[in-house]
Amino acid sequence: MKKHFYIMAFLILVTPQLANAQAAILALIFGDKVATENFNLSMEIGFPINHFSNVDDLKRRNGINFGIAGNIKFSENWYLSPTVYFMSRRSVKLENTSLNTNDSYINSLYANTTAQMKINYTDIHALVTYQLSDSNFRFGLSPQVSFLSKARATYEGAEGDFTQNIDDFVNKTDFGLIANVGYFLRSGHQGKGIIFNVRYYHGFTDVLKDNFASGTNNSSYFAVHVSLPFITEELAAKNKKPSEINP
């Protein structure tokens, strides 16, 4: 968790400058319309704490979400953010678990042990948010569909760790709903418009197949999430408070 905190702190400090350069490049290629108040792109990063239901001896672990979003302003209150997480990792720790392969001898070496399970998805959602009038708080909902990229489980044993490809034990898609509370830092960070989010995801489908874990294994997570828009200097200046522009 501490490592992820340092990564997030680094990105918050460094990325506004990088995002400004990205905005200039995007505006040069596609025109100013991709970095305006009504439409801009953003870098998205989040750190979820994951859980799968009906899995015995499971401990929550931190994952990571990373991708890009398009931010569309419909009015002073309503926004839409179609988002793709190219990297979406959900990690958990399994205790008192056993390796399941076609080799009984290897299985015996990794019986009743601990395993780290990491499932990587590509997530797609479109967050609809409402910003309260005269407030920087935003509240949003979105369906999300996730497509399996890869799944691995690493088992601990006296002979060393054993990593197993568990793609065949995980269903190819996951579907659920996101609830989000965000705070739009309008005037801070040179007006770059960073958005801090607290997010909850609840899946409605079975993630793990019965040959790995019985019952319905819904995915869920809480996440701290940061949105770093690519905006132009003109829009950044517009976001600043008058006292910051003319101190």
| Residue spans per domain, the chain | 2-242
pTM of the model: 0.79
- Check residue 188 and give its pLDDT: 53
Inform me whether the pLDDT recorded for 247 exceeds 50.
no
Beta strands in 132-204 (DSSP E): 137-155, 162-165, 173-185, 194-203
Q: Which of the residue ranges 56-65, 127-136, 188-197 has the most confident prediction, judged by mean pLDDT?
A: 127-136
Half-sphere exposure of 162 (CA within 13 A, CB side): 18
Please state which CATH number belongs to domain 2-242. 2.40.160.20
Q: How much of the chain is helix, strand and coil, in % rounded to 5?
A: 20, 50, 25
The average pLDDT across 153-175 equals 92
pLDDT the model gives residue 175: 96
9-13, 49-53, 92-96, 228-232: segment of lowest average pLDDT: 9-13
pLDDT at 84: 94
Burial category of 29 from C-beta neighbours within 10 Å (exposed 0-12, middle 13-18, buried 19 and up): exposed
Mean pLDDT of the chain: 81
> Residues in the chain, how many?
247
Please check the confidence at residue 16 and state whether its pLDDT lies above 60: no
Q: Which two tokens stand for residue 229?
A: 């828009």
Question: Are the C-beta atoms of 153 and 168 separated by less than 8 Å?
Answer: no
Tell me the per-residue pLDDT of 117-140, one tens digit each, with 9 for 90 and over. 999 999 999 999 999 888 889 999
**Mean per-residue pLDDT, 200-208:** 94
Three-state secondary-structure class, residue 159: coil
What confidence score (pLDDT) does residue 31 get?
46
d(CA 150, CA 120): 5
What pLDDT is attached to residue 19? 47
More confident of the two residues 235 and 158: 158
Q: By percentage, how much of the chain surpasses pLDDT 90? A: 42
Asked if residue 118 lies in contact with residue 151, where contact means CB atoms within 8 angstroms, the answer is yes
Q: Which of 58, 75, 65 is CA-nearest to residue 213?
A: 58
Residue 13 has phi, psi (to 5 degrees) of -75, -40
Reply yes or no on whether the pLDDT at 232 is more than 60. yes
